[in-house]
Amino acid sequence: MLTISGYRRVRVASVLIALLHPLVAPAVAAEDLVRVLADGAPWKATHATGPSVSVTLNPDGSGLMQMAGMSRKVRWAPNTGGFCLTGMPGGAKCLTLLRSDKGLVAKENDVIVMTFSR
């Protein structure tokens, strides 16, 4: 049975959870999405401007990008909201991951740059 002071504690805890959830949930969800993407199986990555590449990210931080018979080894590491890729032609890229109806969407500076699908 809850007393008045017990009720207040539960109520305060509920309010704190409600306030903190939006701050904590996106980070947890992004970590989960990075694990989904870095499962060692190839993804079709379609760039926002059109071309597609095959991207395989492994759980150990290694990866491979393939396009038109050429391949490039890359490295990746999780970061806040997504992951960073190194070994890219234009230098390191840090991308935010979001779920979409087509798979996963990668954003850079709030602009969709790539869609990952299988």
> 58: Cβ–Cβ under 8 A, 6 or more apart, which residues?
38, 40
Alpha carbons 55 and 60: distance in angstroms, whole number = 15
Alpha carbons 24 and 32: distance in angstroms, whole number = 13
Distance of CA 92 to the CA centre of its chain: 16
When pLDDT is averaged across residues 76-87 and rounded to a whole number, the result is 92
CA max distance for the chain:
70
Residue 103 has pLDDT above 80, yes or no: yes
Residue 100 has pLDDT above 70, yes or no: yes
Domain boundaries, the chain: 29-117
Task: Supply the pLDDT for residue 80.
Answer: 85
What is the sign, positive or negative, of the torsion defined by CA atoms of 20, 26, 31, 33? positive
Task: Supply the pLDDT for residue 29.
Answer: 55
When pLDDT is averaged across residues 18-46 and rounded to a whole number, the result is 70
> 81: Cβ–Cβ under 8 A, 6 or more apart, which residues?
26, 27, 30, 96, 97
Task: Supply the pLDDT for residue 25.
Answer: 41
When pLDDT is averaged across residues 62-75 and rounded to a whole number, the result is 94
Alpha carbons 23 and 10: distance in angstroms, whole number = 20
Q: Which CATH class is domain 29-117?
A: mainly beta
What pTM was estimated for this model as a whole? 0.71
Give tens-digit pLDDT for 43-66: 999 988 888 999 999 999 999 999
> 36: Cβ–Cβ under 8 A, 6 or more apart, which residues?
104
> Which residue has tokens 């018979």?
69
